[in-house]
């Protein structure tokens, strides 16, 4: 890959070379968190952008609190070897734009922020850098968790939000400062290089031990579980039409292949080769350790399809559960200790 400095040198070498490379050299910065629900998105996005002709260099500003012995971080050197990695303590609230500039040295045309949880510290630093660099586009990984569902599903981008949420404050700062900004609001994510497996492990943990699978309500609640590679392709789709991305600003982020809670349990049981002992319980008793919300909670990616030309997910949960179950076994899922105290609390008094 050619970085910005190399591109300038090439352009200065002569008119013929300048014509060949024109002014299309575009550097990308991915700000990546230490792990968790969005933990593999920076990795998947870097893989996606590596094959995009619009991007000529990629740098990941990686939270130094990540565990290099775990995925996706241990695969950086093998799977994205041409990506520059710069580490820093992104939880440091004293971080400023000057700090980031000193760390990186360069400026960047495109920024994807998959780390910041608010408009202070690292978040404000990234936002201020985007402004000082005159970046072409700043894309933010927000969360559908900021929505306050009002009974309309799939939740549109106009769904009321929690104004005090850190992600909402980040979005507001970007908009108020006139940045070329777009925000994606993903939901539940899974992937082969994940470092958070809670959502689907919940079902396998119980199924392989012939334990009941507690599900609140009647189990017909719908949810979208999206492969991280599909989330990455959504994040990269802003390059298809940058002006449309900025004009729309907010995009839901998730698959349109919805499943019910009961269907997740049944599909997991099929892959594991066992019967699904689904037991519904009174949702008024709360979540216990159930990994999803008590009610419907899903969005539609229709806006990204119509405005950005995103062609939809390439993965689906039913097919992915085969490799997922193999991963579950490889991670010691069959033998780990499991505390079912909360299960018994919700099932014993009010099993329905």
What torsion do the CA atoms of 42, 43, 47, 49 make, to the nearest 10 degrees?
A: 10
Give residue-wise pLDDT tens across range 5-63: 333 333 233 333 332 333 457 999 999 999 999 999 999 999 999 999 999 999 999 99
Question: Among residues of the chain, what percentage have pLDDT more than 70?
Answer: 92
| pLDDT at 25 (0 to 100) | 72
Measured CA to CA, the distance from residue 240 to residue 132 in angstroms comes to 24
Please tell me whether the peptide bond between 131 and the residue prior to it is cis, using omega within 30 degrees of 0. no
Q: pLDDT value at position 303?
A: 97
Q: What is the mean pLDDT of residues 269-282?
A: 97
- pLDDT given for residue 281 in this prediction: 97
248 pLDDT higher than 50: yes
Stretch 278-294: mean pLDDT? 96
Residue ranges covered by each domain of the chain:
27-191+228-253, 198-224+258-296+316-350
Q: Tens of pLDDT along 112-149?
A: 999 999 999 999 999 999 999 999 999 999 999 999 99
At residue 5, the pLDDT reads: 37
* 259 has pLDDT over 50: yes
Return the CATH architecture of domain 27-191+228-253: 3-Layer(aba) Sandwich (3.40)
Pair 217, 292: CB distance under 8 Å: no
Residue 350 reports pLDDT greater than 70: no
Does the domain at residues 198-224+258-296+316-350 carry the CATH identifier 3.90.25.10? yes
Separation of alpha carbons 283 and 215, rounded Å: 8
**DSSP string covering 114-145:** ES--SSSTHHHHHHHHHHHTT-SEEEEE--GG
Give rounded-to-5 percent helix, strand, coil for the chain: 40, 20, 40
Whether 126 contacts 99, CB under 8 Å: no
Angle at 317 between CA 314 and CA 321, to 5 degrees: 120
Q: Please report the DSSP string for 43-111 in residue order.
A: HHHHHHHHT-TT--EEEEEEETTS-TTSTTGGGHHHHSTTSEEEEE-TT-TT--HHHHHHHH-S--SEE
State pLDDT tens for residues 187-218: 999 999 999 999 999 999 999 999 999 999 99
Instruction: Say what the pLDDT of residue 131 is.
Output: 98
Query: Residue 251's beta-bridge partner residues?
Result: 184
CA–CA separation, 290 and 272 (whole Å): 20
Residue 349 has what pLDDT?
Answer: 65
């Amino acid at each position: 890959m050619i970085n910005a400095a190399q591109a300038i040198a090439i352009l200065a070498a002569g008119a013929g070379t300048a014509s060949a490379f024109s002014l299309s050299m575009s550097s990308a910065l991915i700000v990546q968190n230490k792990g968790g629900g969005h933990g593999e998105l920076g990795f998947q996005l870097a893989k996606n952008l590596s094959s995009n002709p619009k991007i000529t260099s990629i740098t990941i500003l990686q939270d130094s609190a990540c565990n290099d012995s775990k995925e996706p971080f241990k695969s950086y050197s093998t799977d994205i070897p041409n990506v520059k990695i710069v580490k820093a303590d992104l939880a440091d609230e004293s971080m400023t734009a000057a700090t980031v500039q000193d760390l990186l040295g360069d400026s960047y045309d495109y920024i994807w922020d998959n780390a910041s949880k608010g408009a202070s510290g690292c978040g404000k630093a990234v936002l201020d850098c985007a402004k000082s660099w005159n970046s072409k586009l700043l894309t933010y990984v927000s969360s559908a968790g900021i929505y306050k569902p009002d009974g309309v599903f799939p939740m549109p981008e106009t769904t009321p939000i929690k104004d005090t949420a850190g992600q909402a404050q980040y979005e507001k700062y970007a908009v108020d400062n006139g940045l070329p900004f777009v925000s994606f609001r993903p939901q539940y994510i899974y992937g082969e290089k994940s470092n958070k497996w809670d959502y689907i492990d919940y079902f396998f943990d119980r199924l392989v031990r012939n334990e009941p699978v507690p599900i609140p309500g009647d189990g017909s609640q719908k949810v979208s579980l999206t492969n991280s590679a599909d989330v990455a392709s959504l994040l990269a789709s802003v390059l298809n039409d940058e002006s449309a991305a900025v004009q729309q600003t907010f995009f839901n982020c998730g698959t349109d292949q919805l499943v019910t809670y009961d269907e997740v349990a049944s599909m997991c049981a099929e892959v594991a080769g066992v019967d699904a002992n689904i037991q519904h319980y009174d949702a008024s008793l709360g979540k216990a350790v159930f990994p999803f919300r008590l009610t419907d909670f899903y969005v539609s990616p229709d806006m990204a399809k119509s405005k950005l030309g995103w062609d939809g997910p390439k993965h689906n949960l039913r097919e992915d559960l085969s490799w997922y179950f193999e991963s579950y076994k490889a991670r010691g899922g069959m033998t780990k200790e499991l505390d079912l105290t909360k299960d018994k609390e919700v099932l014993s008094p009010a099993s329905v």
